Amino acid sequence: MSRLPMFPEALRQFLKKPATNLFPARYLPKSITGFLGKVAAGEATINPPVAVPKNFRGKIAYDRDACIGCKLCIRVCPAHAIEFIPETKTVRIFVTQCIFCSQCNDACPVSCLHMSDEFMVADADRYSENLIVE
């Protein structure tokens, strides 16, 4: 006798809610970029993403006034994403290069670097204003 234990399980799954979060829209729009443009213009609302955990490592945030220019973050950055600006004795962080390890946050002696909750940082231009933190 053949046994198909998946069959009753699949029937049971029919009655359950989908496990996936429908993001960014409940129904697939014709163009995702067009839809996100509409969201930016306030014409449509985004279906919220799954909440990030408390210590999530998102796009880096930098407090340039607190920075003392010790360059320790540059020495520990695995991706070589941080550049020193000698004129102002501060740093410039390239988010496209960043691997979100937050090692620079741990190493910074004055805690001027932090990880934000922001994770939607995709862009067609890798040097866009949004992707360079200084």
Q: Is 48 in the site for another protein (CB under 8 A)?
A: no
Q: Is 122 in the site for another protein (CB under 8 A)?
A: no
Virtual torsion, Cα 7, 11, 12, 17, nearest 10 deg: 130
Contacts with another protein by CB under 8 A: the residue count is 25
Q: Is 100 in the site for another protein (CB under 8 A)?
A: yes
Q: Are 93 and 62 in contact (CB under 8 A)?
A: yes
**By CB under 8 A, which span of 34-42, 60-68, 95-103, 125-133 interacts with another protein?**
95-103
Measured CA to CA, the distance from residue 119 to residue 58 in angstroms comes to 5
Minimum CB–partner distance for residue 31 and another protein (Å): 27
What is the contact mask toward another protein in residues 16 to 35, using x (rule: CB under 8 A)? Answer: ---x----------------
Q: Which is closer to another protein, CB of 20 or CB of 33?
A: 20
Angle, vertex CA 52, rays to CA 121 and CA 99, nearest 5: 45
Measured CA to CA, the distance from residue 97 to residue 113 in angstroms comes to 16
What is the contact mask toward another protein in residues 63 to 92, using x (rule: CB under 8 A)? Answer: ---------x--xxxx--------------
List the end-to-end C-alpha distance of the chain, in Å, as a whole number. Answer: 69
Measured CA to CA, the distance from residue 134 to residue 63 in angstroms comes to 8
- Chain-centroid distance of CA 86 in Å reads 29
User: In the complex, which residues of this chain contact another protein (CB under 8 A)?
Assistant: 2-6, 9-10, 13, 19, 53, 55-57, 72, 75-78, 99-103, 106-107
